[in-house]
Chains A and B, each alone.
Chain A
């Protein structure tokens, strides 16, 4: 028996609206995003922390990274477990070019983005021939190689990293655009602008010939090859574009944090961003944004939340532990939530209708990882 398809219905209603209505809605969403740093909202959303700083990191950065990874995983169907490497390349570009060479932030931004994109091509060229899960382990390895190398090599400062990373130049007299140390708002606006850009580019790509090629690769790579789609080239494009977005995020993040060390780029971050993408509904932009927002915000929300104490006692009793603060259960509950969400709603919070349509029509391929919508497809299907 089919469950009522709420998101599908919403999606159809949305497309039925006249385009000017949709534009106003989008701009309204943007306006809301601009107002988010307000104090009144802060009290509700983050009682135990600083909301404005959270909006920049982890919320803004995770959203940006998730939309970038969505290009690779959600649109092209490539499993990347080492996305943090591109974030690191962008961040180190900011640190090295900014601190050592004294470049202006606005020059470093395209430079770091391009460098990360290049790294994406360098990584992708030899490895994109590999099958899905092999690609996963190779990208995981690459992410770790970047981190360990940054830790071992003097040029990147070794484990000490680089301190004194400069900030973007401030606009004189405009408080909202003064890039200092205390107020996170200007950085948040920067991230927001980047998110808008990345979303627009992502959407455009999705609807273009490139996006259609990616969909065909995702759906059934062998068939796409037979139809004459140069799959390797398009996969490389996906990798490079995703990598550039990651690098861009790294440059922006690096411009705020003053100090960068290899510890900022653990494997766990790659996995977390992947979880954001899948949680939200791989391939669906609003879903991915929502997924990243929730993953970034929830643990911080629970800091010092009033519901914390009784929950902690209850959990202590069940497990036999002695936690003093709800925060200690953060990661454990996150893990349980991931499992629960996948068990009860594997398509994610806001699944992509296009993906659903694909699943209905075709047999599913590399991108859907062999899943087929209506038949009871077992995970063990060979490709």
Chain B
């Protein structure tokens, strides 16, 4: 308990930072699940692919030390765009090869889950063989300036960037889903696919866009992750994926705001829990939290609602 008090603010700041990344990845899980009722097990590898794209972009730009000002913004933008492009393309290709054929045949959801698992193994190992199993590190791109402190918590430029970006992306995605025609199509398909078809919605396109958006979110998460944690590896997606999916379920599967909230809650719970019981119980805490929430509020914190107007 002593630790919880002395480390409260630093746990809060760091919990929100890592939680923002969980939330961004969770957006991908929740979108795909809301529309297809499919757990996209391979989403963690979509994220991993984004981190590799970020790495290669930095190498290509020959960035070896910190940047500032306009160059910094330029580099960051390029990295984010590259990651988003890589992740969303990978997601769309994944959908086309591993899931659409199953949809056509009316395969069971369990078969789709196994296909997802197979795709996940395949992608991980592909990158492991091609780029090696050792960790790859990134140069420091952003100067790590302290913006302000609360108690013992230090908010640095890196952490602020991660948190603000995640929030911004969620707002943008939210707007897309509620305001645009494609977004309406996504919500309609999530609510009732047969009627959506009757109303003229092109299911294939909706699914493709869903995967694209989820992949794009993962790409942003990958870019932020790379800038902040400065390393990646072929299996970096695994643990993050499990936690992010937990976050999606926690927030209410299919609920976009819930995904981000779930991510933040898990990030905070982990860090608070670690300061009380020790870091070795970090992962257990997240799962126990999840079980408790599901037992008493099975629809998640904010309820499931991709189909309703409030995403």
A and B touch in the complex (CB under 8 A): yes
Give CA–CA (A149, B110) in the complex, Å. Answer: 29
B9 within 8 Å of A (CB atoms): no
- If A133-B39, A134-B298, A343-B101 touch, does A373 touch B106 (CB 8 Å cutoff)? yes
The answer to whether A73 touches B110 (Cβ under 8 A) is yes
Question: Which residues of chain B have C-beta atoms less than 8 A from A149's C-beta?
Answer: 284
Q: Which of B36, B117, B119, B121 contacts A379 (CB 8 A)?
A: B36
With the chains together, A335 CA to B189 CA distance in Å?
Answer: 30
B109 at the interface (CB under 8 A from A): yes
A378–B193 CB distance below 8 A: yes
A222 CB within 8 Å of chain B: no
Number of contacts between A and B (CB, 8 Å)?
182
Is B176 located at the chain interface by the 8 A CB criterion?
no
Task: State whether the Cβ of A338 lies closer than 8 Å to any Cβ in chain B.
Answer: yes
Residues of B within 8 A of A336 (CB): 118, 122
Interface pair A335/B193, CB less than 8 Å apart: no
Chain B, range 102-116, C-beta contacts under 8 Å to A: 102-115
Interface residues of B (CB under 8 A from A): 33, 35-39, 97-99, 101-115, 117-126, 128-130, 189-193, 203, 242, 245-246, 249, 253, 280-281, 283-284, 286-288, 290-291, 294-295, 298
Q: A145-B284, A321-B130, A380-B35 are in contact. Are A371 and B107 (CB under 8 A)?
A: yes
* Sampled A-B contacts (27; CB under 8 Å): A79-B113, A130-B298, A134-B249, A136-B39, A136-B113, A141-B246, A141-B288, A145-B284, A152-B280, A152-B281, A278-B113, A332-B122, A332-B128, A335-B117, A337-B118, A338-B118, A338-B119, A338-B121, A343-B101, A346-B115, A369-B109, A369-B112, A373-B106, A378-B106, A378-B203, A379-B37, A381-B193
Q: Which residue of B lies closest to A153 (CB)?
A: B280
Task: Tell me the complex Cα distance, A148–B33, Å.
Answer: 28
Q: In the complex, A137→B241 CA distance in Å?
A: 12
> Does A323 sit at the interface, judged by CB under 8 A?
yes
Chain B residues within an 8 Å CB radius of A136: 39, 113
A257-282 to B contact mask, C-beta < 8 Å, 1/0? 00000000001000100110011001
Q: Complex formed: what's the CA distance from A160 to B28 in Å?
A: 38
| Secondary structure type dominating chain B contacts | helix
B287 shortest CB reach to chain A, Å: 3
Would you call the interface of chain A mostly helix, strand, loop, or mixed?
helix
- By the criterion CB–CB under 8 Å, are B119 and A339 in contact? yes
Cβ–Cβ < 8 Å partners of A138 in chain B: 290-291, 294
Interface size class on chain A is 35 or more
Q: B109 is contacted by which of A140, A320, A347, A371 (Cβ under 8 Å)?
A: A371
The answer to whether A137 and B130 touch across the interface, beta carbons within 8 angstroms, is no
Q: In the assembled complex, how far is the CB of residue B210 from the closest CB belonging to chain A, in whole angstroms?
A: 10
Q: Please, how many angstroms separate the alpha-carbon atoms of A361 and B232 in the complex?
A: 50
> Which of B36, B114, B298 is the most central at the interface, judged by chain A CB atoms within 10 Å of its CB?
B114
Contacts of A315 in B (CB 8 A): 129
**Among the listed A151, A275, A380, which residue makes an inter-chain contact with B193, where contact means beta carbons less than 8 Å apart?**
A380
Scoring A residues 320 to 351 as 1 if CB is less than 8 Å from chain B, else 0, what string do you get? 11010000110110111111111110110000
